Amino acid sequence: MNLPVAVRRALDWHEDPRLIAWAATPVGRVAMWTAAALLLPNKSRLLILPLLALFLVFPERRTDLLALGALWVLFDRLSGAARVAGPLPALAGMLLVLGVLWVVFRAARDFRKLPKWIQRYPVVILHVSLYGSVGLAYALPRVVPLDRGSLLWVLVTSFRKVVPFLVWRCGYMILAGKRGSAAKSRFRDHLFYCLPVWGGTLTPFGKGHDYLQQTRAKTREEIGAVQLAGLKLLALAWIWTAAQRLLRAGLNGEPDPGLSGLLGGWHLEVPTLARAIAAGGKGELFAGALWVCLGIELIAITLDLAIHGHFIIGSLRLFGFRVFRNTYKPLLATSLLDFWNRFYYYFKELLVEFFFFPTYLTTFRRWPRVRIFAATMAAAGAGNLYYHLMRDFGETFLVPPGETASRLACRLLYSLLLGLGIFASMLREQKRRGKPASPAGRWAALRRLRAIAGVWLFYALIHIWSVKPATLGFADRGRFFLSLLGL
């Protein structure tokens, strides 16, 4: 056996048929649970491990167990209200949130019975209703004084704390209703991914009902194989965590007590992108160091996303869902489109599901290229902008008008450049159809490296306009961009 084959087998240990067969045995299941206990992050271990133990014994009760966990997730999110007002008002807040989910579920299950105008624009109506209600929940205390700890205060607080997290998950529920797949589903079939025990952001990792149904492992052997893949992701998450800490401490000079002894206080003093922008690209930094700063920041944000996604998808796989990774080797992508697919898969899927396909299927049917342009800009441009404006509504709009304009301009420019870049990449990929993906020849490796470098350059540059914190204004980012060119 040559070295590359041996290395590949070592990296793909989770696909070994003998190991998969062993994982399905009683002893193997105990070992899987023990490994999960060692690899899960502390914040999710307390909830996931008991449910995982029950799932390993009763795999047919998977949905019921995860729905039970969803109730705990909801209670945990409202624990602050429970501490202030007591358990009964907090229970009322839980019932309010569950009531919202029940209404959306009934709309999805009985989608064909809804009025035609709702069937035509179900996702738009859902967003207007939910985000509008959240806006009213924020406005109500300004109109009606609420006593902290009162029942109405708890209900308002619960609504605006939890419902924004549910908006896109409810969107997937409505899409299941539109496709007809929700017609015979139960409330619990949707509850567990709306309030997932594996956590997540406003972006639903694992998407919704349809995708999770398709990826559900059924036999014990299938479940064992998926769980092994999940353990591998959890292990990778810890490896990337160590790499991230080393990068931030050794290159950016960020304090890290765990690494101080290892590095002896040594670091390269390359600033983070946010610090470099705040300095306007001036000071003791030279143009080359600014470009190095851009590259390091791209690696760092990729590691951040990979770590977070690996923990979530690894936990999801422990319950037997054969779902895609969220981040898969984006820094090796040779096209902008490929990077976008690999970098933040579930966010890309959200934009495609809710913006690209609706636009593509309904507009410019006689002009294929214009049709693709409109759909791409609707997803990577307008959809991207809308998602982040809703997510960061407070820090974008609840500030002085000048700050609002500056922050809007940053996000708008980022979304515009991203959309145009992906559209150009899509056209280029279309021209390549039928041609070898990687032409052979003595310069093939160099051509591949050049393509990868071009992808890095594009995404590193547009990240200037999206990097946190939001207090970095449009002018600050513009000055930094010009300083890269020596201006």
Residue 220 has pLDDT above 70, yes or no: yes
What is the secondary structure of 218-265 as a DSSP string?
-SHHHHHHHHHHHHHHHHHHHHHHHHHHHHHHHTS----HHHHHHHTT
For 382-401, write each residue's pLDDT tens digit.
999 999 999 999 889 988 99
Residue 165 has pLDDT above 70, yes or no: yes
Q: What is the mean pLDDT of the chain?
A: 89
> Cα–Cα distance between 301 and 462 in angstroms, integer?
13
- Among 16, 343, 63, which Cα is nearest to 213's? 63
State residue 143 phi and psi, 5-degree precision. Answer: -100, -45
Residue 402 is encoded by which pair of tokens? Answer: 């000048």
> Cα–Cα distance between 133 and 128 in angstroms, integer?
8
pLDDT score of 6:
64
The better pLDDT of the pair 306, 88 is held by 306
pLDDT score of 281:
58
Residue 313 has pLDDT above 90, yes or no: yes
pTM above 0.85, yes or no: yes
Element (H, E) at 476: helix 474-484
For 333-370, write each residue's pLDDT tens digit.
999 999 999 999 999 999 999 999 999 999 898 999 99
> Cα–Cα distance between 137 and 133 in angstroms, integer?
6
Cis omega (within 30 of 0) on the bond before 257?
no
Query: Do 171 and 135 touch, CB atoms closer than 8 A?
Result: no
The better pLDDT of the pair 210, 2 is held by 210
Residue 261 has pLDDT above 70, yes or no: no
Q: 3-class SS at 459?
A: helix
CA distances to 206, 360, 377 from 363, rounded to whole Å, are: 29, 6, 13
Residue 262 has pLDDT above 90, yes or no: no
> Cα–Cα distance between 285 and 401 in angstroms, integer?
33
Mean pLDDT of 41-49: 90
Cα angle at 179 between 176 and 185, to 5 degrees?
45
Q: How confident is the model at residue 441 (pLDDT cuts 50, 70, 90)?
A: low
pLDDT score of 169:
97
pLDDT score of 314:
96
pLDDT score of 299:
94
For 406-422, write each residue's pLDDT tens digit.
999 999 999 999 999 99
Residue 283 has pLDDT above 60, yes or no: no
> Cα–Cα distance between 310 and 270 in angstroms, integer?
27
Cα angle at 356 between 355 and 358, to 5 degrees?
70
pLDDT score of 402:
92
Least trusted range by pLDDT, from 80-84, 364-368, 457-461: 80-84
Buried b (16+ CB within 10 A) or exposed e, 361-380: eeeeeeeeeebbbbbbbbbb
